[in-house]
Amino acid sequence: MKFNELNLIPEILDAVNSLGYETPTPIQERAIPKALKGQDVLGCAQTGTGKTAAFSIPILQILNESHGNKGGRRPIRSLILTPTRELAAQIGESIRDYSQNLQINYAVIYGGVKQGTQVDKLRRGVDILVATPGRLIDLMDQGYVKLHDVEIFVLDEADRMLDMGFIHDIKRILPKLPTKRQTLFFSATMPPAIVELTKKLLVNPAHISVNPVSSAAQTVRQVVYHVLKPTKKQLLLHLLKDSTMDSVLIFVRTKRGADRLARILAKANIVSAAIHGDKSQNQREKALKGFKSGRNRVLVATDIAARGIDIEDLTYVVNYDIPNEPETYVHRIGRTGRAGASGNSISLCDIDEKPFIKDIEKLIGKKIEVIEGHPFPITQDAINDYREMQDGFTKQNEIQMQKRREARAHRKTSGGAGNGKRKGGNRRR
């Protein structure tokens, strides 16, 4: 099927053609016709399958044809709710591209930046609002956002919303929406809590499932190096000596881990940047722009910060920390090998992470190639040293905890904290 077979209006079709798109992805081919008919859609599709166009194109066509503005400030007629700032910005860019020939206004709102510019745009009136839950509720509470005219509601990346703890925010937003509306619901996985949410939100939806999460990209070569945790950084630096690894996205588990690894890379004169939830929006945008332009060879990211990142020509994904959820692994490696291009996934697996690799292999239905003979193999002597080091850290932590307990007990018996002493109920300062 071609885009010109989807009954799109000429303005949108011309915009799609100008972007070089000819053939819709499976999710687009199946979701767009259903959505154009006004039907609710339940789409199960992972990142990188083209679902942004699957919901934004029909929204633009429906709003353009209904002309809901009756004078005065434009009401919000479509709300797109998404979990991260990066994903919200990406959706906004797609709407901008697809609506270039239409008189449709949109706004993107998210936290981490001052609200002034966002509020100014809302005051002028928008047809489509792309929002993250926290900033949306904030601006609703201030009276800047009214949702009673919403005709089409999109909940994108619903499973990630659940992971990030946004489910309560969503439950606060839903009662503000009209009961009679069209809902487009997209999620990469369908855990029980998400299934329950779909039952409350959707009415006789079209069920569409493509590229299930268990199907890792066929064009991605997946390998694993077995290495002890203390020597992961040495192995990574060894691998990065390969000049063909010119675009590398490294996933770590924690924010502190991302910053720590970025510092290690900097000391080795490897140009990199880190993104995670504690970085400001400007810092994240600067890091991402530097990586996309090739100025930064390496981008270190946590899973949540990387959600929605779309990078063309990404050649390598490195799992520095193996995720304990196998679906997360599939999402990670899906950042490379897109649109039929080849890609590479490298996993650095500590002995304590081996069960995670087994779970991943069970999900994707194949064994991950093990690379032998690297400079930092796991030997029994190395394991003994590692366990001894772990025991040392454990004992050190126990000593510190005992000292803190003794200090608290001393403060309690002496009637005060620190060097302060109580006199007549008041501590001397």
Greater confidence, 426 or 268? 268
Give the residues across from 79 on adjacent strands: 129, 153
Query: Where are the chain's structural domains?
Result: 3-209, 220-378, 381-427
On average, the pLDDT of the chain sits at: 87
* pLDDT reading at 77 higher than 80: yes
Backbone angle region of 213, left / alpha / beta, with phi > 0 → left and psi within -120 to 50 → alpha: alpha
pLDDT band of 108, cuts 50, 70, 90: very high
Pairing status of strand 106-109 against strand 182-187: unpaired
* pLDDT reading at 397 higher than 60: yes
For residues 361 and 328, give the distance between their C-alpha atoms in angstroms, rounded to a whole number. 13
Pairing status of strand 182-187 against strand 41-44: parallel
Of 336, 329, 318, nearest in space to 362 by CA: 329
Pairing status of strand 426-427 against strand 41-44: unpaired
- Residue partners of 112: CB distance under 8 A and separation at least 6: 85, 280, 281, 284
CATH of 3-209, one of 3.40.50.150, 3.40.50.300, 2.30.180.10, 1.10.20.10: 3.40.50.300
H/E element, 92: helix 85-98
Which of 46-60, 200-214, 254-268 reaches the highest mean pLDDT? Answer: 254-268
Q: pLDDT at position 292, please?
A: 86
Q: pLDDT at position 161, please?
A: 87
For residues 331 and 47, give the distance between their C-alpha atoms in angstroms, rounded to a whole number. 7
For residues 133 and 126, give the distance between their C-alpha atoms in angstroms, rounded to a whole number. 18
Q: Which string of DSSP letters, residue by residue, matches 221-239? A: EEEEEE--GGGHHHHHHHH
Angle of helix 133-141 versus helix 116-124 axis, rounded to 10 = 70
Write down the architecture of domain 220-378 according to CATH.
3-Layer(aba) Sandwich (3.40)
**pTM for this prediction:** 0.65
Q: pLDDT at position 422, please?
A: 46
The mean pLDDT of 116-121, rounded to a whole number, is 95
**Structure confidence by residue, pLDDT tens digits, 358-396:** 999 998 889 999 999 899 988 887 777 777 777 777 778
* pLDDT reading at 212 higher than 90: no
Q: pLDDT at position 175, please?
A: 95
H/E element, 347: strand 343-349
**Structure confidence by residue, pLDDT tens digits, 150-179:** 999 999 988 888 877 888 899 999 999 999
Q: pLDDT at position 169, please?
A: 93
Of 191, 220, 230, nearest in space to 329 by CA: 220
For residues 189 and 212, give the distance between their C-alpha atoms in angstroms, rounded to a whole number. 8
pLDDT band of 36, cuts 50, 70, 90: very high
> Which amino acid is present at 42?
L
> Which amino acid is present at 224?
V
Among the ranges given (12-26, 40-54, 97-111, 297-311), the one the predictor scored with the smallest mean pLDDT: 297-311
Of 102, 79, 128, 80, nearest in space to 13 by CA: 102
353 secondary structure, DSSP code: G
Q: Which string of DSSP letters, residue by residue, matches 240-305? A: TT-TT--SEEEE-SSHHHHHHHHHHHHHTT--EEEE-TTS-HHHHHHHHHHHHHTSSSEEEE-HHH
Whether 220-378 and 3-209 are alike in CATH topology: the answer is yes
pLDDT band of 12, cuts 50, 70, 90: very high
Q: pLDDT at position 428, please?
A: 43
Q: pLDDT at position 420, please?
A: 47
For residues 211 and 26, give the distance between their C-alpha atoms in angstroms, rounded to a whole number. 9
For residues 402 and 397, give the distance between their C-alpha atoms in angstroms, rounded to a whole number. 9
* pLDDT reading at 247 higher than 80: yes
Give the residues across from 272 on adjacent strands: 298
* pLDDT reading at 15 higher than 80: yes
For residues 275 and 262, give the distance between their C-alpha atoms in angstroms, rounded to a whole number. 10
pLDDT band of 49, cuts 50, 70, 90: confident
Q: pLDDT at position 427, please?
A: 44
